[in-house]
């Protein structure tokens, strides 16, 4: 499947408001485990840690992170999602074009709308950590290896909190896709020390279709 066909899939999801993946609150695993990254919010926003959320959508995790004193950077394919995000935050973004992506910005938050593979480290700027709840699990297997390699380069091996699902893929085609511990290792163990911080059963199963477990990983750079 071509990338542009995958893009059309997600654009249609947002246009039809088929966003069952969108939680009504901050992810409990984020709230419980984000402190593991040992980032220290400072009093000045100029030096507060900056957290990158790939394929962020309009997640309420962003509001939670902002409330904790962090600065936010994000990448998202859908402008609908990001317009909704800024409305929910009661912010009016400044919007400008940067290369092949559109930059939405307001105090302490920068979101880059477009293909994440078009976001360069120059466009993104420095980040102190990555929080991936929605990206790896959203991408089909042929794109995941490209994505993880790009993310490592894009963020200069920034530490990461990764949340993913595991379930019997034969019972549900995805997305979200099932990501095993072995696959996490295939993508990241050459660059990170991997620690499984916790696992929890998905209440009611994945979309009510099959039992599933949500895992949270800490990826600590080896260098």
Q: Is the dihedral angle over the CA atoms 153, 157, 162, 164 positive or is it negative?
A: positive
d(CA 7, CA 4): 5
Q: How far apart are CA 132 and CA 115, in angstroms?
A: 16
The CATH superfamily of 27-35+45-221 is Vaccinia Virus protein VP39 (3.40.50.150)
Contacts 24+ apart (CB under 8 A), 97-104: 98/123, 99/123, 101/75
What is the domain partition of the chain in residue ranges?
27-35+45-221
**Mind listing the pLDDT tens digit for each residue in 130-145?**
999 999 999 999 999 9
pLDDT digits (tens, 9 = 90+) for 73-120: 999 999 999 999 999 999 999 999 999 999 999 999 999 999 999 999
Instruction: Return binding residues.
Output: 14, 55, 76, 133
Alpha-carbon span 80 to 113, nearest angstrom: 10
Binding site, annotated residues for S-adenosyl-L-methionine: 14, 55, 76, 133
Burial of 24 per CB tally in 10 Å (0-12, 13-18, 19+):
exposed
Task: Return the ∠ at Cα 84 (arms to 83 and 88), rounded to 5°.
Answer: 120
């Amino acid at each position: 499947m071509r990338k542009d066909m995958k893009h059309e899939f997600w654009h249609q999801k947002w246009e039809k408001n088929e966003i069952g993946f969108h939680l009504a609150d901050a992810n409990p695993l984020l709230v419980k485990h984000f402190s593991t990254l040992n980032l220290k919010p400072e009093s000045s926003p100029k030096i507060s840690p900056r957290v990158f959320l790939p394929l962020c959508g309009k997640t309420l995790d962003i509001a939670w992170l902002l409330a904790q004193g962090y600065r936010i950077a994000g990448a998202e394919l859908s402008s609908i999602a990001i317009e909704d995000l800024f409305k929910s935050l009661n912010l009016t973004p400044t919007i400008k074009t940067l290369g092949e992506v559109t930059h939405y910005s307001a105090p302490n938050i920068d979101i880059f709308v477009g293909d994440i593979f078009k976001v360069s480290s120059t466009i993104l700027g420095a980040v102190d950590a990555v929080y991936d709840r929605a990206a790896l699990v959203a991408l089909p297997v042929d794109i995941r290896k490209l994505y993880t390699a790009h993310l490592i380069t894009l963020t200069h091996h920034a530490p990461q909190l990764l949340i993913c699902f595991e379930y019997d893929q034969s019972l549900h085609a995805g997305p979200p896709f099932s990501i095993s511990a072995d696959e996490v290792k295939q993508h990241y163990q050459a660059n990170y020390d991997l620690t499984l911080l916790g696992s929890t059963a998905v209440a009611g199963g994945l979309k009510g279709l099959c039992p599933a477990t949500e895992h949270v990983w800490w990826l600590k750079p080896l260098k």
